[in-house]
Amino acid sequence: MYEIRCRRCGAPLTADPESLIDICDYCGYPNIVGGDFDPGSVYVLPTLPRSSIEDRFYDIARRDPQLSSFRDIEVLEVSGAYFPAWYASLKGRVTASWQVTRYEQRGKEVIARKVYLKETTPVARRAFLPARRRVPSSAIRDVLASYTVKGGKAVSIAQEDFDWEKIKLEFLGVEIGRGEATRIMVDKLIDALRSEYRARGEKLDYFSARIDEVEGMRLVYVPVWSVTYTAGGATYTAVFDGHDGTCIYRAEPLTATERLIRMIGGLALSALAGPIFAATASVAGFETSLLLLGGSALAAYTIGASIVESARVERA
């Protein structure tokens, strides 16, 4: 029977057949054990230790005006994992023509005229794609997306002299290979460009995009930490970028003051709905006043529903 051993120290590995990377229990080195991957194109973004993430959370709790008012905050669990994502630079060319309406003042008249615009221009964008078909939350996707902007010194797993003992998180499996990722990235970019040009005017007459180059395609494992904590008798979650400790998402309990403000707002809208309906009915007609009444009722319901919510969301 074929036995998989660590590339660095030779110790036997207990690899999951669905895993791309298996961490050696002895030296901490991440070994490629699945898929047809070049070690030189697989990178790991080093993570802060668990204790640092917990310290960051408590620091945020102390500085946050609302969260600091709760004295019973307790961290229940700090868990993390390495999420794989593909990153690349895409280059190509776009040709598009569209219509816009422009208004000109001629004496006392305002003249509207159709203007036909055309553009051929090169495009260059950085793109990313999660290498798993399902990402548990938008907060995790935000962490993966932030790497395209913030960057960070990712380490190639071919670099054996790195202190791999620092890497203790689980590496999640790769479900989207390089070829499929390239096709999806190209399709998504073309769709995004089409939407951008469509938004430039009233009508998009012609659109053609061609992506000629996909450069620097590499798989990066990005660390994501989740902090589960209790406050005010309920449980909440915060999500951190494991590389620099940025809190990307945080659910917080509502304070009594916030609940009171929302309640007053809902009551005020409900009280004003009747007079608004009567005033607009005599001026703008029944249908218009009915629409305004419906809008006021919906706003009052939304505010009222938020009163019974237990959490407020903060995003980076």
pLDDT in tens, 205-228: 999 999 999 999 999 999 999 999
Place of tokens 């790195």: 162
- Asked if residue 168 has pLDDT above 80, the reply is no
At 265 the pLDDT is: 45
At 169 the pLDDT is: 83
At 19 the pLDDT is: 67
Q: How confident is the model at residue 311 (pLDDT cuts 50, 70, 90)?
A: low
Average pLDDT over residues 106-120: 89
Average pLDDT over residues 280-308: 49
At 305 the pLDDT is: 47
Q: How confident is the model at residue 256 (pLDDT cuts 50, 70, 90)?
A: very low
Greater confidence, 20 or 150?
Answer: 150
Q: Lowest-confidence range among 211-215, 239-243, 309-313?
A: 309-313
Name the token pair of 9.
């120290």
pLDDT in tens, 57-100: 999 988 888 788 888 888 999 999 999 999 999 999 999 999 99
At 31 the pLDDT is: 82
At 129 the pLDDT is: 96
- Asked if residue 116 has pLDDT above 50, the reply is yes
At 260 the pLDDT is: 43
Average pLDDT over residues 280-309: 49
| Backbone conformation region of residue 35, classed left if phi is above 0, alpha if psi is from -120 to 50, else beta | left
What span, in angstroms and rounded, lies between the C-alpha atoms of 162 and 27? 11
Name the token pair of 282.
């005599």
Average pLDDT over residues 259-279: 49
What's the whole-number average pLDDT of the chain?
Answer: 80
Q: What percent of the chain has pLDDT over 90?
A: 42
- Asked if residue 262 has pLDDT above 70, the reply is no
Q: Is the whole model's pTM more than 0.85, yes or no? A: no
What span, in angstroms and rounded, lies between the C-alpha atoms of 238 and 79? 11
- Asked if residue 42 has pLDDT above 50, the reply is yes
Greater confidence, 268 or 150?
Answer: 150
